[in-house]
Structure 1
């Protein structure tokens, strides 16, 4: 930190904490003496509570004296400054001391300033009934739109300031179809590590979903890695995220990832860093029960809230969403037997048989429409892998079609397998219920006469959206590959909307006082002064540091 008045570079910058018990700032060491503050030297103390700093200035007429202790064996003295600065730094507060020639300046620690500034900014937003939002690893914006809906349900108006996404194809879709992305929303296309922090503006709520490929079991198996940190994207994205956090300085964060990410080194370090930065973190695992969906995707979430605003928040208050579709058949588009979407997947069935013989748990997931659940559809669903869910033509067959199928079995098959297949076909006709277990479907499809007549198809992008509870408009007029990728890497809509509503209701419940304060939390006097002076201001965070460090700056 240079002293503008004296033109000197700092000899030492010390980050320390005001003692909880003695309520004093303690400085000692050789650099005190090098700065002129030797034992026995007089100085004066200037304290400016409004601007949040204290200055120690060498002054032969000063009313204070540098104390110290003697080391007789070494023949030297150690200078000590021990002073109460409660006006700017109450007990437990972190401060920064900059030692330059003839002057020492003590200010609030930059992370204390960040804490005060983000909470001030949120209070200002709440006073206007709005909160600013941003998202990282946005994809086509499923979580962004769902969070906006949840915040709106909580009675607040959310405004998405900016989004970060590596794949420009996805942001094109979001920009066209996602109502949460407006003309005011800035779009950053690039890796997290590439984003320049100075381009990122502060927001109240930041959501992010770091790349899950390295965390998921499938991703690790595919790449032959044991740790997520060995993945080329998962390994370094967290560093980009931390830089963005520095610039955005949100009061609340909402994060989603696969369940396995919970125990990763990446997320353990991230959580500890957030706690060190004065956030309180709560986490939860959610599944289709809460989301009200047929897709059974399970995900891990955490919410981090700035410590003076977190009291009373309970992540477990997220309520179950009402089901829109009871069974698979309720969400299927009317795709007739003449459509070329129906085809034979003999290669995948043969692979499944080989996997079963080899003891591998890779099975076909084929549905007849009566099911109330579907194995989660992945990002690359459109590639039609061996375990990707498919719809059986049995779902649309009429009684006459089933009768013809039974006739083909009688004509060409015999034995116990044929008898079992005929019993299943007859059951579907009589009960008007096409529900079959995976084993029953496999048994049917093992017969050549059935396999030749019963085709399968992939779920369409619209059906994919319905399975996850996502508004179909998000993939309107989008190529199937991109649509499935965008939907397949997203969480379930109800998860994000539900958590955002709980978070929004909590933030909205904070009582905003006439001067912009909030009746909650142990605010330091300096934080209160900052909040009161700047509550109606839209100044960026940097201006707070500017006024606090007006005399000296690194």
Structure 2
């Protein structure tokens, strides 16, 4: 290959037109006056132009800057109708050969449309998960899709922590025996040629990149000027987009802390997905709106391939009900070691107040209607996260148990069965409030089902895989 460029697919006299001129033609031996032939391969969605002494067409010329330059002007329904509906095409120039093809983004868009329609017809959609953790988001989307009448199959799950993947493999029924276990850093996966070559395309991708650099506490603790300055997770949008491009989903569900909406990474995600043929929708989901005891806010983005009609307004919120922490509390005896006066935190509160700091202990009781956000480091007994006050002895406080922590988020207890305090609270604290994302999964399922009823545009563009076509070019 000497040249690869994108050219506008124009229209002249009511017929599609590709107009080529200049030094790149001359470089490939397409000089003025030479004859060539045009061959159309509908099967491969490709037009091949080859020099041939007996060709029916001739390279013409034009004057530019006092010099003659070669021109090839293809203006024909017969030659270019396979590109119907496209605004631009790829042009690959080799010695004595020129190939006109649809853009890779168009090919992928049409292929994911076709794959989705086939999946909807079979009532089984495939899902890929990045930054999977214990798979709480995966499980919520799995449940939501089921409510829309679609079965989902988790094709692959990636996380940097194999112990969380192990937990999900055993206890998360979004998994099955065929789920690909990818226990390595996302940035390593994206540049692992072996893994990426075997990564399947999926209908839906879901992910929640680490929020350490974007959250208020994370930025303050790490003294970051921006989320992307975090040395471990600030760059993860780049490998995430690389994997998304490979998996080619028709829908992407992304969640994070609300502050992530204003990061450079989120801007990159929005505009890159747009250029890949997606329409991006965003909202903030509130646990309170879905009767979750934990009033947790999460940014949610749903990006759908062009043509899919999705709207967050279609989410159905439940009737408001009054709740109390007592509904989900376990019976923890007064002599249990989890109870503590936590004197050091009470002393810290007094010092902070005297110093004019806004940090105060977050103490709740069995009658509390809600609790605030519980984060990944909850087991460290941080003063600003909820502590339950003992009913019999008000001086004693304790953390929520793992079971209680799951319950205030609405997360099924089975997802954290057998987990210790530290890792269990980490899994839950970096997760979502469950019910809002179940509803997102249902709404996504309904939108995808509706899209499957629309006619396919120009099926010739989706009759091939990109790789075999490029192999064909290499052999040409």
Q: TM-score, length-normalised on structure 1?
A: 0.80
Q: Which of 118, 121, 126 does residue 127 from structure 1 map onto?
A: 121
Q: Post-superposition shift, 1:206? A: 0.4
Contact 1:164 1:188 in 2 (8 A): yes
Counterpart of 2:413? Answer: 472
Contact 1:27 1:80 in 2 (8 A): yes
Counterpart of 1:49? Answer: 42
For structure 1, the 5+ residue unaligned runs are 1-9, 402-452, 513-517, 534-542
CA RMSD of aligned residues (A): 1.9
Counterpart of 1:496? Answer: 437
Per-residue CA distance 1:382-428 (angstroms, 9 max, x = gap) = 0001212100013xx3xxx7xxxxxxxxxxxxxxxxxxxxxxxxxxx
Pairing 1:18–2:9 present: yes
- 5 Å-filtered alignment, 1:84-483, equals 84=75, 85-195=79-189, 196=192, 197-308=196-307, 310=308, 312-321=309-318, 326-394=323-391, 397=392, 454-483=395-424
Contact 1:292 1:320 in 2 (8 A): no
Contact 2:37 2:49 in 1 (8 A): yes
Pairing 1:79–2:78 present: no
Per-residue CA distance 1:227-271 (angstroms, 9 max, x = gap) = 001002332211211221122111110000011111111110111
Contact 1:293 1:325 in 2 (8 A): no
SS at match of 1:478: coil
Pairing 1:39–2:32 present: yes
SS at match of 2:372: coil
SS at match of 1:131: strand
The structure-2 alpha-carbon separation of the partners of 1:122 and 1:271, relative to structure 1 and needing over 3 Å to count, comes to: same
Contact 1:16 1:96 in 2 (8 A): yes
SS at match of 1:234: coil
Q: Which of 540, 544, 547 does residue 465 from structure 2 map onto?
A: 544
In 2, the alpha carbon distance for the partners of 1:215 and 1:33 equals 52
In 1, the alpha carbon distance for the partners of 2:449 and 2:472 equals 38
Q: Post-superposition shift, 1:550? A: 5.4
SS at match of 2:217: helix
In 1, the alpha carbon distance for the partners of 2:439 and 2:51 equals 59
Contact 1:220 1:228 in 2 (8 A): yes
Counterpart of 1:553? Answer: 474
In 1, the alpha carbon distance for the partners of 2:106 and 2:474 equals 17
Contact 2:281 2:302 in 1 (8 A): yes
Q: Post-superposition shift, 1:61? A: 2.8
Contact 1:318 1:499 in 2 (8 A): yes
Q: Post-superposition shift, 1:68? A: 2.6
Q: Post-superposition shift, 1:42? A: 2.0
The structure-2 alpha-carbon separation of the partners of 1:456 and 1:326, relative to structure 1 and needing over 3 Å to count, comes to: same
Higher Rg = 1
Contact 1:18 1:91 in 2 (8 A): no
SS at match of 2:82: coil
Contact 1:295 1:376 in 2 (8 A): yes
Contact 1:19 1:91 in 2 (8 A): no
The structure-2 alpha-carbon separation of the partners of 1:454 and 1:321, relative to structure 1 and needing over 3 Å to count, comes to: same
Contact 1:107 1:548 in 2 (8 A): no
In 2, the alpha carbon distance for the partners of 1:20 and 1:125 equals 36
Contact 1:288 1:294 in 2 (8 A): yes
In 1, the alpha carbon distance for the partners of 2:145 and 2:474 equals 39
SS at match of 1:24: strand
Per-residue CA distance 1:507-549 (angstroms, 9 max, x = gap) = 122344xxxxx33x7x23533xx3xx6xxxxxxxxx6124544
SS at match of 1:305: strand
Higher strand share: 2
| Residue-pair matches, total | 465
Bigger drift between 128-137 and 234-243 goes to 234-243
Contact 2:116 2:452 in 1 (8 A): no
In 2, the alpha carbon distance for the partners of 1:141 and 1:547 equals 35
Contact 2:48 2:99 in 1 (8 A): yes
Contact 1:43 1:62 in 2 (8 A): yes
Per-residue CA distance 1:189-223 (angstroms, 9 max, x = gap) = 11111012223111100001111000111100000
Q: Post-superposition shift, 1:304? A: 0.7
In 2, the alpha carbon distance for the partners of 1:66 and 1:107 equals 20
Structure possessing the higher relative contact order (Cα contacts under 8 Å, 6 or more residues apart)? 1
Q: Post-superposition shift, 1:39? A: 2.2
Contact 1:23 1:91 in 2 (8 A): no
Q: Post-superposition shift, 1:86? A: 3.0
In 1, the alpha carbon distance for the partners of 2:180 and 2:459 equals 36
